[in-house]
Amino acid sequence: MPVIGIPLRRLRELLGESGGGGVSAEELVERLGHLGCDVEGTTELQRVRCSACGAIYEMTATEEVPPRCEACGAELRGGHERLAPLEVIRMELLAVRPDMFDPGGLARVLRGYLGVETGRPDYPLGEPAAEVTVDAALRDPASYRPQIACAVIEDVDLDEGALKILMKLQENLHWAIGRDRKHASIGVYDFDRVEPQIEYVAEDPEQFRFRPLGAAPSDRSQRLHEILQTHPKGMAYAHLLAAHQRYPLLRDAAGVVLSMPPIINSEETRVRSSTRRLFIDVTGMRRRVVERTLNIVVTSLLENLRGARAATVRVRDADGERLTPDFTPQEAWVDAHHAARILGIELSPAEAADALRRMRHDVTEAEDGRLRVAVPAYRNDILHEIDLIEDIAIAYGYHRIIPTLVPTFTVGEEHPLEATAQSARALLCGLGFLEVMTLVLTSDEAHDELLGWEPDPRRVQIANPISREQTRVRTSLLPGLLATLRHNATRPLPQMIFEVGDVSLLDPQAETGARELRRLACGIVSPRTGFEEIKAVAEAILREFAREAELTPSMRAPLMRGRAAEAPGGRASDPNLFFGEVHPEVLERYGLQNPAVLLEVDLDWLSGEPEGGRADGNAAARVTDRGGGEVP
């Protein structure tokens, strides 16, 4: 999760004296924790401003100024201006609550939680201030990104802090809702620089040109495809447009370009501290996402820029005409009795209603404890009544809920395979072996080559491995044991180790396409170990599990022919049990300078599980069905 720094002074200003602005930073941190924010603490950030484009960078004490400005690509190390440091509350972004990404949004939530200002905030919308016409070509898969929603904000007064908040909000919403601009991207422009008649069109990237944000006064305009190749933001997001023949473009009636969504705005419409009117657009694939995102941006900006007013924009597309933003609340119902019951707290309908109002919902009490809730238009996370019940729980305070136990009696029952595994562990400990746990992800090189095996065609393989060392799942426990012995090659002898664990084998008959087998393996390294010692271990294991096995000589690597034995298995070519002396060639490859013996045995077989029972890999069968406790 990205971490944000909320400027403490600004948050206090927004909360106001009566709204908790006067409380200590520690108390604010504690209350944010009660609201579900993952707060790291407070810290001081260093700030610099790019001399070329004015973008502000914030850094912790240990971070350095980035070499280049991300917004305009200018040299930043030399070309910046230092600003006063800023005390911030550092917290992880709460991805599901994008309305809490900025000081204004947080203040809105805190004022409600503290009971200073409850119920749904009202954001009056002015008459349409602009019109946007959407080119039907944008629905064509060849051009894409058909949805747009816009708003105008007037009477804004932007200081450096507010500009920074605006940029951060945009960036964080791109991450959380936009999924890195794919589903939604936001543009903010100086509305006084454009005509209020705006077109959202699809343009030919080879023909059309404009001057992207960060262009110097002397820079010529660039073709759209050039921007993707040379501008830092163009290169970063080129993958979102590269497959399309035409690129989305927003321009006014006079031909002034606002932006090429979702990549970059134009230099002409750049927002500066002198900007008094903002034009905001959100573009994307789905109307609901685009409109919700717009609601969040606009209401948060209104919270941050006190005194500003929002006006609607008329959007015309193939579906018809509508005004955006639309702050009509989402209507939902909560049963207050159900809420108290599921939370396990004493709570009257009036108290539940009060809790919801403190979470900034409007509530009307109906009969029988039913509450009619109007959810603010900036909330993106209310899918079901249960989401509002969680809001009630948070307003009530998790720390006030008294932990209790379920009153129903049930009888616990262990899984037979786990019980067998525990017996096997006790047995091997009794024989003096130390238990190890090795990595289940491995590579063909580590798993097979050193042992002299051909990689098993039945191995489970990863499509997107993170390293060359881990590309597949193990099919035996022996490679892990040998790797552990190599790791301990210089440690005192004798070494006696074992592991109980799962291996996976592809099996088209299994429900998930792979069968998981529980195995036991052990090994001894000692100057005087040999076949007799490991055979004695094998016999002890068989005896204690009351199992008999018909042994035949084994010719399996990594063991030495004539000095190894196996109990042939029923399945394919895997023996149920095999053990013996490790071939000196393998010892050499593992850097072991003393003799070693190994054993591997199938635990299902050992415990007498019928073949084709759980071992057929049927996952449903492996999930224990009804356990104890079903006494009628």
Partner 1 sequence: MEKFSHEQYVILKALASLEDEIGIGDLSAQLGVDQALVAAGAHLLAERGLLEIRELPLQELILRDGGRAAVTEGLPERRVLAALLDAGTPLTMQQLPERSGLTTREVGSSLRHLQHKGWARKAGATLEARVPESPPPTADEQLLSTLAEREGGRAFEGQLREAGVPVAEGLKLLKGRRELLEQRAKRRRLVRLSETGRALLARGIEEAREVGQITPEILAAGEWREVLFKAYDVHLGVRARIPGKGHPMQRVIAQTRRAFLEMGFTEAISPSVESAFWNFDALFQPQDHPAREMQDTFYLSAPPGVALPRDDGLVERVRRTHEDGGETGSIGWQRPWSAQRAAAAVLRTHTTATTVRALAADPHPPRKIFSIGRVFRREAIDFKHLPVFHQVDGIIIDRAATFANLLGTLAAFYRKMGFERFEFRPAFFPYTEPSVEVFIWVPEKKDWFEMGGAGIFRPEVTQPLGCASPVLAWGLGLERLAMLRYDLLDMRALYLTDLEWLKEVPLCR
Query: Hey, which residues between 381 and 420 contact partner 1 (CB under 8 A)?
Result: 381, 383-387, 389-390, 393-394, 398-399, 401-415, 417-418
List the one residue from 253, 366, 462, 555 that touches partner 1 (CB under 8 A): 462
Cβ nearer to partner 1, comparing 610 with 627: 627
DSSP 466: S
Q: Restricting to residues 304-343, name those near partner 1 by CB under 8 A.
A: 341-343
Cα(110)–Cα(123) distance, integer angstroms: 18
Both tokens of 69, joined, read 């400005």
d(CA 73, CA 230): 10
Query: Interface with partner 1 includes 454 (CB under 8 A)?
Result: no
Question: Does 440 help bind partner 1 (rule: CB under 8 A)?
Answer: yes
Please say whether the beta carbons of 210 and 222 come within 8 A: yes
Nearest residue (CB) to partner 1, 84 versus 383: 383
374 makes contact with partner 1 (CB under 8 A): no
Q: Around Cβ 503, how many Cβ atoms within 10 Å?
A: 24
- Which lies closer to partner 1 via its Cβ, residue 245 or residue 348? 348
Is 238 an interacting residue with respect to partner 1 (CB under 8 A)? no
Interaction residues for partner 1, span 95-114 (CB under 8 A): 95-97
Q: Which of residues 149-188 bind partner 1 (CB under 8 A)?
A: 179, 183
* Alpha-carbon gap, residue 260 to 280, rounded angstroms: 14
Choosing from 6, 11, 15, 35, the residue that interacts with partner 1 (CB under 8 A) is 35
Q: To the nearest whole angstrom, how small is the minimum distance from the Cβ of residue 481 to partner 1?
A: 10
The residue among 314 and 370 lying less far from partner 1, judged by its C-beta, is: 370
Name which of residues 481 to 540 contact partner 1 (CB under 8 A).
Answer: 484, 487-488, 491-492, 495-497, 502, 504, 506, 510-516
User: CB count, 10 Å around CB of 432?
Assistant: 10
Give min distance, CB of 191 to partner 1, in A: 31
One-letter amino acid for residue 31 of the chain: R
Rounded Cα distance between 470 and 460, Å, is 11
Residue closer to partner 1 by CB (options 75, 469) is: 469
For 56, the 3-state DSSP assignment is strand
Taking CA atoms, 54 is separated from 82, 158, 544, 556, in Å, by 12, 13, 77, 70
Stretch that binds partner 1, among 45-53, 263-271, 542-550, 614-622 (CB under 8 A): 614-622
Q: Which of 31, 2, 37 is nearest to 15 (CA)?
A: 31
Q: For 312, how many CA atoms within 13 A lie in the half-sphere containing its CB?
A: 17
122 vs 454, beta carbon nearer partner 1? 454
Question: 156: closest CA among 243, 42, 278?
Answer: 278
d(CA 324, CA 316) in angstroms, rounded, equals: 11
Q: What is the DSSP secondary structure assignment for residue 219, as one 8-state letter?
A: P
Q: Which of 147, 265, 438, 576 binds partner 1 (CB under 8 A)?
A: 438
Minimum separation from the CB atom of position 41 to partner 1 (A): 12
Enumerate residues 544-573 that contact partner 1 by CB under 8 A.
Answer: none
Nearest Cα residue to 473 out of 497, 507, 496: 507
Distance of alpha carbon 113 from alpha carbon 35, whole angstroms: 8
Q: Which is nearer to partner 1, 237 or 433 (CB)?
A: 433
Token look-up 């920074």 returns 164
Q: How far is the CB of 476 from partner 1 (least distance, A)?
A: 16
The C-alpha atoms of residue 264 and residue 234 are separated, in whole angstroms, by 7
Q: With CB under 8 A as the contact rule, which of the stretches 34-42, 58-66, 198-206, 551-559 interacts with partner 1?
A: 34-42
d(CA 554, CA 577): 10
Which C-beta is closer to partner 1: that of 72 or that of 505? Answer: 505
Q: Tokens 């190749």, residue?
A: 229
Smallest distance, Å, CB 267 to partner 1? 33
State which residue, 13 or 502, has the beta carbon closest to partner 1: 502
* Residues between 242 and 301 that touch partner 1 (CB under 8 A): 286, 288
Query: Does residue 425 touch partner 1 according to CB under 8 A?
Result: yes
Q: Which is nearer to partner 1, 142 or 462 (CB)?
A: 462
CB of 178 to partner 1, least distance (A): 11
- For residues 225 and 205, the answer to whether their CB atoms sit within 8 Å is yes
